Amino acid sequence: MTNNAKIISINDLKSNDPSYLETIFSIANGHLGVRASNPVNISDTAGTIVNGFFEISEIVYGEKAFGYAKNNQTIVKLPDLRQIKICDGQQNVFHRSELKAESLDMNNGVLVSTYKLTNDLGKSVELTVKSALQQANNQVIGLRYEIKPIDYTGRIKIVKHLKAISDGEETDDPRKSRTVHTLTYEKHDVNSKSEIVKITTQISKMYLEMAIYTPAALEQKFELTDGKTINFDVIGLVGEINEPVEFTDMPTFEEVIKGSSEFWEEFWKNSEIKITGDDSLNQAIHYNLFQLTSSTGRDGKTNIPAKGLSGTGYEGHYFWDTEMYMSPFFAYTNPQIAQKLIKYRYSILEASKKRARELGVAKGALFAWRTINGQEASAYYPAGTAQYHIDADIAYAIDRYYKVTDDKQFLENYGFEIVLETARFWKNFGSFSEIHGKRKFCFFDVTGPDEYTAIVNNNYYTNRMAKFNMGFAVDLIDEFPEKARELGVTDQERNELANISESVYLPYDQIKGINQQDDSAFEKPIWPFDTTPKDNYPLLLHYHPLMIYRYQVNKQADTLLADFLFDDLSKEQYLREYDYYEKITTHDSSLSRSIFSAIAARIDLKTKAYDYFMDTVKTDLVDLQKNTADGLHVANLGGSWLTVVNGFGGLQVKDGLLTIDNHLPDEWKKLTLRLQYLGRLLQITYTNKTTQIEVLTGASIKIRVDGTVKMIQA
Ligand code: BGC
């Protein structure tokens, strides 16, 4: 293990499968992502990914129906910026390569990869590639190639160009990306020092320019002698979508490193988290936060793809993952980013209103389950569009942002409208029914977060979240009456929303004494776990969905996620629910274990909390789901932070007060974390005996610490 929590090296990893390593060592800056592929033997899985740059293709259904999603949106794989050709004086290419060492320094964002390169004459040189991305001006990558002799000395020729890469292979795995064959490449402004390639998508009609520049020449000859290292620097540019790139103020490699270091230094100042007692965990949590932040679009026009910018899995789409798993970290450490993520949702609000109409709902907005441009891209509606809960998830994230920042202006100008339009959706989508002799508001034919249970009535999570969404809308109508009028809210609408929110039906099983996942959940037989071979997980790759749907079996936390968010159960009920749902959950989704860990921490199931956390925090580092090669599980990266902070750290905002409860695992000596709350930077230190809070910047503040309200002096 590397003796530094913020450096990860190949020796820390169990697998050295090349496409797995490409993902693990990928670097990104919210705009562009670069997989750490071998620069001289470009693989099928290599390439650059630009957040929001996608191609469209028609979704071909065997049997179509009204309102089905029309088009795929597929993130495009672009030329590999690190690719290079190195030859000897006789044009023998050093084309065989072996990765010797690789490490990513999260202090400054620099990736260092070292290869032994060999040509057909059996002669070798060592190539080290240093790569770093600018984070502030996020179009820029700095590359330094260092070449040293192993047993070859003499003339060396370096050739550096941008080249189209392989489309990859078609696959049946729904978590992978489809391939795109409709790109055109056009090189222009080519000279000895630089070149620009313009890449155009035929159907979505987007273009992007990528460029490389080197102070000397893109094709160069050097004399390699013993004891000498040749340095070759290249600066790459990846423009904004539909904008040309310009070679003005090109930084040097050193300047790129400096910019990157400054960004990460500032980042860690606000987000530091330190687990004392387990170095490998400490390293893993730093890795997760580093990659989560790298993956995140910060311009209000893009968002966080489910696989970040580390791979093309899930086609670069944005899901509810952002609001429920990733944005909490930003709300509490870097609220400007959390705000930008909400702004993206605002930018697709009109498309979401249209979608609601397609679903036959007269008023309000329905956000697409998976999308880049706002239009629904899920071709399988039972586990896609039917997950209406995404609307309330977005409203929940807005509430969280508001609670943590008190940013009234943003709420009035952006957040409120989203909350209102989603609340309007629920009101017009649901209906009153008579349940156990009472008039209750119900939602029929919905799918909750658990994708192994589809199209059910009154999914507890959905109902609970919709209730919250409508209640929140009412609070905002009362808080911003003028804006409410501007948005067309009448007293009647306000009162109806309030009444419906009060009347939402929440299924509860009296005999079991637990919240019930949906109306028919407990009537179904339990999945035959005893006779299911281990190799048949994840079930989604081995059983027809209809077979899975007719059993009680969960892919991921569902009712328990609602419990985690609202945290209003007695400990006894928590324990009963945990016990029940744990037995039927496969955790086939990486969004599951973090929630099981966090709840277990809160209710003192210490071993479970710790074991689930170990899997969560290292999901990608140990390739737990066996598909990290397709990209990082970014929701889970955020989930691991949730577990530490909201689980072990017991942090929540309750009744307007920041609340902290110490549930430190016995295995840890100390946990220190930093976060922002109402304009302050706080540092919280937990030990097995004490919880200490410091206000590092900003004014004194009242906080509820382990049950007692205290004034924490600045
Ligand atoms: C999960 C969803 C998630 C999606 C993208 C699926 O496997 O079940 O909850 O949104 O992956 O991460």
Question: Which residues, in sequence order, are CB contacts of 592 under 8 Å at separation 6+?
Answer: 554, 555, 556, 557, 585
Task: Report how far ligand 1's centroid is from the alpha carbon of 6 (Å).
Answer: 28
Contact at 8 Å (CB) between 45 and 168? yes
With a 6 A CB cut-off, is 591 part of the ligand 1 pocket? yes
Looking up tokens 């080197």 gives: 214
- Which amino acid is it at 250? M
With a 6 A CB cut-off, is 557 part of the ligand 1 pocket? no
- Strands 85-88 and 514-515, sheet pairing: unpaired
With a 6 A CB cut-off, is 235 part of the ligand 1 pocket? no
Q: Which atom of ligand 1 is nearest to the CA of 317?
A: 5
367 SS3 class: coil
Strand segments, DSSP code E, in 22-161 are 27-28, 32-34, 48-58, 71-78, 85-88, 96-105, 110-118, 124-133, 140-149, 154-159
The residue whose CA is least distant from atom 6 of ligand 1 is 589
Tell me which of 209, 421, 451, 493 is the catalytic residue: 451
CA distances in angstroms from 664 to 602, 612, 668, listed in the order given: 10, 14, 7
pLDDT at 167: 66
pLDDT at 625: 87
Q: What's CA 276's distance to the chain center, in Å? A: 26
460-479 vs 416-429: helix crossing angle, rounded to 10 = 130
Tell me the backbone φ, ψ of residue 496, rounded to 5 degrees: -65, -40
The pair of three-digit structure tokens given for residue 605, joined into one six-digit string: 């199931």
pLDDT at 179: 75
With a 6 A CB cut-off, is 320 part of the ligand 1 pocket? yes
Binding residue per annotation — 160? no
Contact at 8 Å (CB) between 260 and 108? yes
pLDDT at 149: 97
Contact at 8 Å (CB) between 296 and 664? no
pLDDT at 2: 46
The number of beta carbons lying within 10 Å of the beta carbon of residue 170 is 9
95 SS3 class: coil
Cα 240 from Cα 337, distance rounded (Å): 19
In a mutational test of the pocket of ligand 1, which residue from 326, 589, 630 has the highest number of ligand atoms less than 8 Å from its CB?
A: 589
Tell me the backbone φ, ψ of residue 213, rounded to 5 degrees: -145, 140
Cα 254 from Cα 104, distance rounded (Å): 17
With a 6 A CB cut-off, is 556 part of the ligand 1 pocket? yes
Nearest to 132 by CA among 261, 321, 14, 222: 261
Task: Report how far ligand 1's centroid is from the alpha carbon of 197 (Å).
Answer: 35
CA quadruple 568, 572, 578, 584: dihedral positive or negative? negative
The residue whose CA is least distant from atom 1 of ligand 1 is 589
264 SS3 class: helix
The number of beta carbons lying within 10 Å of the beta carbon of residue 559 is 25
Tell whether omega for the bond before 533 is within 30 degrees of 0, i.e. cis.
no
In a mutational test of the pocket of ligand 1, which residue from 323, 555, 591, 632 has the highest number of ligand atoms less than 8 Å from its CB?
A: 591
Cα 428 from Cα 425, distance rounded (Å): 5
Q: Which atom of ligand 1 is nearest to the CA of 451?
A: 8
In tens, the pLDDT along 356-381 reads: 999 999 999 999 999 999 999 999 99
Strand partners, 479: none
Cα 440 from Cα 258, distance rounded (Å): 60
- Which amino acid is it at 543? Y
Contact at 8 Å (CB) between 45 and 25? no
Cα 501 from Cα 514, distance rounded (Å): 21
pLDDT at 136: 87
pLDDT at 681: 97
- Strands 701-705 and 657-660, sheet pairing: parallel
Task: Report how far ligand 1's centroid is from the alpha carbon of 591 (Å).
Answer: 7
Task: Report how far ligand 1's centroid is from the alpha carbon of 335 (Å).
Answer: 25
pLDDT at 42: 86
CA distances in angstroms from 633 to 24, 228, 306, listed in the order given: 11, 42, 7
List, for the chain, all residue ranges whose pLDDT scores fall below the cut of 70. Answer: 1-3, 166-172, 175
Looking up tokens 């400490």 gives: 282
Annotated catalytic, 451? Answer: yes
pLDDT at 168: 66
Binding residue per annotation — 249? no
User: 3-state SS string over 452-498?
Assistant: CCCCECCCHHHHHHHHHHHHHHHHHHHHCHHHHHHCCCCHHHHHHHH
CA distances in angstroms from 567 to 598, 652, 684, listed in the order given: 11, 9, 22
With a 6 A CB cut-off, is 370 part of the ligand 1 pocket? no
Task: Report how far ligand 1's centroid is from the alpha carbon of 27 (Å).
Answer: 23
With a 6 A CB cut-off, is 632 part of the ligand 1 pocket? no
Task: Report how far ligand 1's centroid is from the alpha carbon of 111 (Å).
Answer: 29
Q: Which atom of ligand 1 is nearest to the CA of 307?
A: 12
437 DSSP 8-state letter: T
With a 6 A CB cut-off, is 321 part of the ligand 1 pocket? yes
The number of beta carbons lying within 10 Å of the beta carbon of residue 633 is 29
Binding residue per annotation — 555? yes
4 SS3 class: coil
The matching CATH number, chosen from 2.60.40.60, 3.40.50.170, 2.70.98.40, 3.10.150.10, for 31-269 is 2.70.98.40
Question: What phi-psi label fits residue 242: left (phi over 0), alpha (psi between -120 and 50 degrees) or beta?
Answer: left
Question: Could you give the dihedral angle defined by the CA atoms of residues 188, 192, 193 and 196, in that order, rounded to the nearest 10 degrees?
Answer: 10
Burial status of residue 607 (CB atoms within 10 A of its CB: 0-12, 13-18, 19 or more): exposed
The pair of three-digit structure tokens given for residue 6, joined into one six-digit string: 């913020």
Contact at 8 Å (CB) between 15 and 623? yes
Per-residue b/e over 219-236, b at no fewer than 16 CB within 10 Å? eeebebeeeeebebbbbb
335-347 vs 349-358: helix crossing angle, rounded to 10 = 50
Task: Report how far ligand 1's centroid is from the alpha carbon of 639 (Å).
Answer: 13
User: 3-state SS string over 298-324?
Assistant: CCCCCCCCCCCCCCCHHHHCECCHHHH
Binding residue per annotation — 615? no
The pair of three-digit structure tokens given for residue 422, joined into one six-digit string: 């989603």
Cα 256 from Cα 213, distance rounded (Å): 14
With a 6 A CB cut-off, is 590 part of the ligand 1 pocket? no
Cα 392 from Cα 566, distance rounded (Å): 13
